[in-house]
Structure 1
């Protein structure tokens, strides 16, 4: 077991952070509860100030999260998303051994306003599907997304289809539509009250807005606006000279 070395030049709170990270990785595991501040003070013979500084730094770095009235817990590891090639939420979660679920909150066929029509390169007033889904992995909310899909390309699609089958599988298997590429735009945003509730986020957790434009062989086939939990994802991009 690692101990605090009070003669070291390394600040006490940094030593304590290292000790707690080791415990979280080897003993507590994801969502495991950390001891209270008082218990940590007594066990490692450090001040409350040192413990709070270590805990605050661990929370800021995404190692832990706090639940009011219950305590401090080990944060689940972030899903690392490689942005070099096309990906889908369902397939990526399956690769990680997680069970993906999509809960469809709304499903409508509407006339696209000018903004949505421009996003999909359609004439204003064109019919499009509009649907919102909460995406979960192992029953943990990960992202909330609203999608728009041209109706003329995929006639007859229903809410029940989306509840039982991944969207891109519907494109491929039912409509023989091949996805050629997708573009994504990322920006940090303040999380809205609705999304915060659906994603079970505390106000201190950041979120990321992701706009996706999915291209078929000769036209856009999907525009999706997503709010993703900042504590659940990290994105990897490789830059070459």
Structure 2
């Protein structure tokens, strides 16, 4: 006798259609920008109503697996690039590993006196000189984030300006400055994009952007890199796996 007390409920018609289409996309039978079967084709294939088909396609669109073009139908969406926040790694390090092109547009590199917030994060006296860097990060030739970085002067003044366009500061710290990294503290919220940041990201002022504050420490626990990142949400995402303890 089978125990059915914990058996999963049967899939509804639209859920079954959605899952079969989803599986075809994930295994590559339907490639990015391929046209999806039309509503009429799906109705005939599954023997269901138009509303059932539209529910299935609507679920896939909500999951950003497909997109609709008025008058032409639905098409497979390209997967959104992402960075795993559970790993301490640089942007280019993560994106290049998954086959994406990255580069940075350097806005400024200068020595400035640390304000109260930066001084607190880097555990130095207010007014102490620090290296301040502003960059626009590009992914596959589109701007995806504006990064503000502050480093202690003994590290920042040794960074090579020309390499900031192509290399992660994390790798430069470890490979060039013999500063192995240990851990980072991260805070995440959403903010309306100020006009200057919106201009760099090619979005309208006030558009919601992801704001990440990250304080990275070396292996001995000393803070070495303080950042504020302002990221577009439509072309890129961060992911994080959490374990229940």
What TM-score do you get using the length of structure 2 for normalisation? 0.70
* Structure 2 residue aligned with 1:41: 39
- Asked whether the 8 Å contact 1:133–1:146 carries over to 2, the reply is yes
1:224 aligns with 2:232: no
- Asked whether the 8 Å contact 2:42–2:53 carries over to 1, the reply is no
Give the 3-state SS of the residue equivalent to 2:180 in structure 1: coil
* Structure 2 residue aligned with 1:91: 93
Spell out the pairing of 1:68-107 with structure 2 (5 A cutoff).
72-79=75-82, 81=84, 83=86, 85-107=87-109
CA displacement at 1:23 relative to structure 2? 3.7
Aligned residues: 225
Q: 1:111 to 1:80 in 2, by over 3 A?
A: closer
Structure-2 separation of matches of 1:69 and 1:145 = 40
CA displacement at 1:123 relative to structure 2? 1.9
* Residues 41-96 of structure 1 deviation map (CA, whole Å, 9 limit, x = unaligned): 2211265544443333223323235678986541415536261x532222223333
Q: 1:184 to 1:174 in 2, by over 3 A?
A: same
CA displacement at 1:213 relative to structure 2? 0.8
* Structure 2 residue aligned with 1:14: 15
Give the 3-state SS of the residue equivalent to 2:215 in structure 1: strand
* Structure 2 residue aligned with 1:27: 29
Q: 1:105 to 1:53 in 2, by over 3 A?
A: farther
The answer for unaligned runs of 5 or more in structure 1 is 1-8
* Structure 2 residue aligned with 1:157: 159
Q: 1:87 to 1:170 in 2, by over 3 A?
A: closer
CA displacement at 1:223 relative to structure 2? 0.8
Give the 3-state SS of the residue equivalent to 1:152 in structure 2: helix
1:236 aligns with 2:234: no
Q: 1:125 to 1:82 in 2, by over 3 A?
A: closer
Structure-2 separation of matches of 1:53 and 1:200 = 33
* Residues 9-56 of structure 1 deviation map (CA, whole Å, 9 limit, x = unaligned): 7444323322432343333323x1444xxx622211265544443333
Q: Which segment drifts farther, 65-74 or 208-217?
A: 65-74
What TM-score do you get using the length of structure 1 for normalisation? 0.71
Structure-2 separation of matches of 1:75 and 1:215 = 35
- Asked whether the 8 Å contact 2:103–2:138 carries over to 1, the reply is yes
Q: 1:178 to 1:23 in 2, by over 3 A?
A: closer
* Structure 2 residue aligned with 1:212: 214
Structure-1 separation of matches of 2:61 and 2:216 = 35
Give the 3-state SS of the residue equivalent to 1:183 in structure 2: strand
* Structure 1 residue aligned with 2:3: none
- Asked whether the 8 Å contact 2:25–2:76 carries over to 1, the reply is no
Larger Rg: 2
Q: 1:115 to 1:65 in 2, by over 3 A?
A: farther
